Amino acid sequence: MTPLHKVLINKDTTINPIWIMRQAGRYLPEFREIRKKNTDFIKLCLNEKLSSEITLQPLKRFDFDAAIIFSDILMLPYALDQKVEFKKNFGPLLGDLNLNEISKLNENDFIKKLSPVYKAINLVSKNNLTKNKSTIGFVGAPWTLLVYMINKQSPKVKLKDNFYQDKSLINKILSTLDKFLKIHIKNQVENGAEIIQIFDSWAGLLNEENLPNYVYNPTLTLVDYVKTLNVPVICFPRGVKNYKNYCDIVKPDGICIDYETDPNKILKEIKIPVQGGMDPKILLTDKEILKKETKKYLDIFKDHPYIFNLGHGVLPETDPNMMDYLVKMVKDY
């Protein structure tokens, strides 16, 4: 049993495994080398040789307890034939949404479009570097994907004023997403993903009364589905105000918390294993501050099943030496 499984399934409190969101990526010089030659991000995610190599890069450097596949939550709208491109210094841009086309889409075409992702997971899970480590697959939560698909860009730029207007469009997209997210999850698991993480990056945009329709219910069906595949599921509803409600309703195996959340409050309210929490900006400071903050999280959760992670993805300007220091500190705790 891998360290992550010990925490998520056995609720082990004697260990603190560590992996980091976006650990395979922009802060590593060896990744930047590959990226320079491969400017089309989607094509890079669909190159199983390169995406598996990128996934394994951090494991060659650091003693992480998991590999998370190098991919993107927007591979799903891409596979549903919505145009997706990543514009430098702006982020994702999505094309027009054609629901008639989406409703005609069949399962085999969808799987075929994403088969390089599944092959990459397979390569990673069979690699020697992942021995006694978990291979993590992931998806975007229905709400977050809905936001991108209708808004066509990151809502941090702006959420359209009439976003909620077309209820029938929203419901059609949500039911399409439910179907294809399950297919995407199943194929990841069949190819060696031993844990699934569900990223709800824009859960924080909603007020409490909209959470049941857009976050709780659509995510709960996915969580229930993952459990039928006998792999643990971690949810990351970033920015959600009430983690306790979320855990009580959605019931994931583990909950990932963001860096604006008070870990002491989480400790009091949450019974399930906890992951994450530390602000990624701490890695941009010095070793003394990093040591203090890391120890803070490890001390708070010392008697609670806990996986060390950040409260968001690692920042591109992070020094790999600081990451090395962090990993060793968590391992020595």
Summarised one tens digit per residue, pLDDT across range 155-164 is: 886 677 788 8
* Residue 254, strand partner residues: 234
Is 265's pLDDT higher than 90?
A: yes
Contact call for residues 267 and 255 (beta carbons, < 8 A): no
Q: Which of 211, 41, 209 is nearest to 143 (CA)?
A: 211
> What is 72-92 written as a DSSP string?
-TTHHHHHTT--EEEETTTEE
Contact call for residues 303 and 13 (beta carbons, < 8 A): yes
Which residue in this structure is represented by tokens 């570097």? 129
- pLDDT of res. 274: 98
The CATH number for 313's domain is 3.20.20.210
State mean pLDDT over 33-47: 97
Domain count, the chain: 1
State mean pLDDT over 312-318: 98
Q: Which of 228, 206, 275, 225 is nearest to 247 (CA)?
A: 275
**What is the value of pTM for the model shown?**
0.97
State mean pLDDT over 283-312: 98
Is 43's pLDDT higher than 80?
A: yes
Six token digits for residue 266: 């989480």
Contact call for residues 13 and 305 (beta carbons, < 8 A): yes
Give the integer Cα–Cα distance in Å for 250 and 215.
9
Which residue in this structure is represented by tokens 């294993």? 273
- pLDDT of res. 90: 86
Give the integer Cα–Cα distance in Å for 274 and 308.
9
State mean pLDDT over 184-188: 98
Q: Which domain holds residue 50?
A: 3-332
Summarised one tens digit per residue, pLDDT across range 77-96 is: 999 999 999 988 888 999 99
Q: Which of 160, 166, 165 is nearest to 148 (CA)?
A: 160
List strands edge to edge, sheet with 195-199: 66-68, 134-140, 195-199, 233-236, 254-257, 274-276, 306-307
